Amino acid sequence: MGQSTPTTTMALDTFELRYAGFRSELAPKEQVWFDELVCRARRHSNAINRRPALDFERPVLLTMLLEGMRELEDTQRLLGETRRQLEEACRALAEAGLVARRPPPSTREELERMGQRRLDANLRST
C-alpha cells in the first residue's frame, strides 16, 4: 500500500512541533503572536490542503502572512476612518467657535526678539 498524505491538522501539528524551539526563544508577547498566527493558519485549512505532499511549511507560512496583511489592511482602514472622524469633529468645533486654533510655535529668533532669552537667563540665576 502507498503512503497516505497527512491531513492539514497533522501538518499544522508537525509545524508547531518543528518550530517549538524557535517559539520558546521568543519573548512571551511574541509567543502569543506566534500561537495566534498558527490558529489563524488553521482557518485556511482548505488552502493549505492544496499543498504539495512534501512541502507543508510554505502554505502555512503564506497563510500566516495573509492573515497579517488582512489585519494590517483592517487596521489601516480603521485608522483612516478614525482620522476622518477626528478631522470632522475638529472642523465642527472650530466652526462653532469652541476651539481656537493655536499659532505655530515661535522660532528661536522670534523668542530672542521678545526678550525670552533674558527671561530664561533670569530664571537660571534664581
Q: What is the mean pLDDT of each run of 10 residues along the chain (126 residues)?
A: 70 88 92 89 80 70 86 94 95 85 69 60 53
Alpha-helix residue ranges (DSSP H) falling in the chain: 8-18, 20-24, 28-42, 45-49, 57-95, 108-113, 116-125
CA distance 82 to 37: 27
Q: Give the model's pLDDT for residue 92.
A: 92
Do residues 51 and 78 touch, judged by C-beta distance below 8 A?
Answer: no
pLDDT at res. 60: 81
Please state the separation of Cα 35 from the chain's center in Å: 16
pTM above 0.75, yes or no: no
pLDDT of residue 74: 94
Rounded CA gap, 15 and 56, in Å? 8
